[in-house]
Amino acid sequence: MNTKIFKIVTNSSNNNDNKKTSKLSRFRSHSHIVQNFVLVWLDPNIDGKLNDEHREIVNQVRSIISNVKIYSDVDKCTTFLDRIKSEKVFMIVSGALGQHALPRIHHIPKLDSIYVFCGLKSQHEKW
Q: Which domain holds residue 39?
A: 5-125
pLDDT surpassing 50 at residue 114: yes
Check if the beta carbon of residue 91 is closer than 8 Å to that of residue 38: no
Total number of domains constituting the chain: 1
pLDDT in tens, 29-53: 444 555 688 999 998 877 666 677 7
Check if the beta carbon of residue 94 is closer than 8 Å to that of residue 45: yes
By the 10 Å C-beta count (0-12 exposed, 13-18 middle, 19+ buried), 32 is classed as exposed
Give residue 78's pLDDT.
Answer: 94
Residue type, 75: D
pLDDT band at 1 (very low <50, low <70, confident <90, very high): very low
pTM: 0.67
Looking at per-residue pLDDT, the higher value among 113 and 121 belongs to 113
Check if the beta carbon of residue 41 is closer than 8 Å to that of residue 58: yes
Domain CATH number, residue 62: 3.40.50
